[in-house]
Amino acid sequence: MALPEPVPGLVVRYAYLWHEEYRRGQEEGLKDRPCAVVVVTADEPGRRIVTVLPVTHTPPNDPGLAVEIPAATKRRLGLDDARSWIVLSEANRFAWPGPDLRPTSPGDPSGVAYGLLPRALFKEVTAKLAEAIAARAARVVLRTE
């Protein structure tokens, strides 16, 4: 199974674990969803560690903690037509590839990626994410294997 290289801006299908679910003791996300890779690092053994932000159809309570994905970008990525936002208030971090990546199409286990966000959109996401982190408005759920 050939998986894509995790790079910032890549949108993958992932069983995202919301912070509130994590606080309730859940270990698995309840819904597979698109997520945007924002950071890729390496740990001591050399594994790639990926941080992803969830994509949701739910309009944000605080517009400063989300970035709407333009309809044209959603079409290019093969996502649905409903409005969607990249959430900046929380993230999941995991060792790539991890067990929670999901195929974007049934029957194709290597197809976990929708594609890349446009550079300008990704810059907007990272700038607003930096603001959220500075304001201590962002949380990270560390996922295990």
Q: Which residues are paired to 119 by β-bridges?
A: none
What is d(CA 45, CA 85) in angstroms, rounded to the nearest whole number? 34
pTM over 0.85: yes
pLDDT value for 86: 98
Give the N- to C-terminal CA distance of the chain in Å, as an integer: 18
Q: Which residues are paired to 53 by β-bridges?
A: 36
Cis peptide before 97 (omega within 30 of 0): yes
pLDDT value for 110: 65
pLDDT value for 25: 95
- Mean pLDDT is lowest, of 24-33, 66-75, 101-110, 113-122, for 101-110
* Backbone φ and ψ of 75, nearest 5°: -60, -45
Cis peptide before 59 (omega within 30 of 0): no
Q: pLDDT grade, residue 109 (50/70/90)?
A: low
> Could you give the 3-state DSSP secondary structure of residue 22?
helix
